[in-house]
Amino acid sequence: MKLFVGLGNPGAQYAFNRHNVGFMAVDAIAAAHDFPSWRKRFSGLAAEGKLGRETVLLLKPGTYVNESGRSVGEAVRFFKLELADVLVFHDELDLAPGKVRVKTGGGTAGHNGLRSLTAHIGNDYVRVRIGIGHPGHKDLVQSWVLHDFVKADRVWLEPLLGAIARAAPSLAEGANEKFQSFVARAMQSEAEAEEQPEPALRQRQANPSAETKAPDTLSSRLRRWLSS
């Protein structure tokens, strides 16, 4: 059993905040891999399914971000999980938008969700750090993370979530470098395609390749927002 945790704040008013990109990532995984409907469990919403040969529980804590550890701790204790089997998807100020890095343990870098997890379960869980960029000054951080992604962000956000979802089985199998490399290649292909001359870009949009096309990996609500 692996536990994939998305960090975010519950409630419709927070749904598309930068701070909620962890929720968006596990939503994309659930949609891409036909997980059953979310149900209330472990003080949050959970969905259990298969990624490759691994059984995975997706969890969105129903607490606010700074209390996420309470929900995650319940799940960890229930399944008697090792921390190496806990993977946490969260927003990362210190990475450029669209970049993803995976690491085990380390500091919390001021992230209140990570701080809560460390307090409740220990520090040696796996972090899937999803870059949202930095506003440039520490006084602007709270406003930055608690505001929605802007329309320009949607160019990279949808392909990124699609790539994360497609590569999620590698994470479940412990192949973290393979996951990270797949996401990087997918985003590079997307960037190169965007730089194509206009006729080539139109042709690509009409006949997207398997490498650059994002399958239906997003929840209907998220897809409507991205396309609005």
So which residues are the catalytic ones? 19
Q: How many CB atoms lie within 10 A of CB 98?
A: 21
The full 3-state SS of the chain, as one line of letters, equals: CEEEEECCCCCHHHCCEHHHHHHHHHHHHHHHCCCCCCEEECCEEEEEEEECCEEEEEEEECCCHHHHHHHHHHHHHHHCCCHHHEEEEEEECCCCCCCEEEEECCCCCCCHHHHHHHHHHCCCCEEEEEECCCCCCHHHHHHHHCCECCHHHHHHHHHHHHHHHHHHHHHHCCCHHHHHHHHHHHHHHHHHHHCCCHHHHHHHHHCCCCCCCCCCCCCHHHHHHHHC
CB 129 within 8 A of CB 89: no
